[in-house]
Amino acid sequence: MKEYFFLLSSITSAMKGEDILRKNGFKANVFRDTKINPYGCGYVIKVFGEIEKITLILNRAGIRVNEIRESR
């Protein structure tokens, strides 16, 4: 399973996204890192799983993602 960073522009979106992903069985954590995420407040959701499923869940919940990066 791969690890991804979903870059968001607000803590509200990040926390909502984290909660929704956890309820759908994903291991997700929110943290702040302005070096990884230059958008807005710098919040990131780190999540393990299939990118297509994760993206679909966040889109359906109305969570706007600025960028997705794959962990190295």
Q: Dig out the tokens for 33 from the structure.
A: 């890192």
What's the confidence (pLDDT) of residue 12?
A: 94
Q: Break the chain into its structural domains and give their ranges.
A: 3-64
What's the confidence (pLDDT) of residue 13?
A: 94
Which CATH code for domain 3-64? 3.30.70
Confidence of residue 69 (pLDDT cuts 50, 70, 90): very high
What's the confidence (pLDDT) of residue 23?
A: 98
Q: Is residue 2 predicted with pLDDT exceeding 80? A: yes
Q: Dig out the tokens for 69 from the structure.
A: 């990066």
Residues 10-55: tens digit of each pLDDT: 999 999 999 999 999 999 999 998 888 887 788 999 999 999 999 9
What's the confidence (pLDDT) of residue 39?
A: 78
Q: Are 20 and 57 in contact (CB under 8 A)?
A: yes
∠ Cα 16 51 5 (to 5°):
60
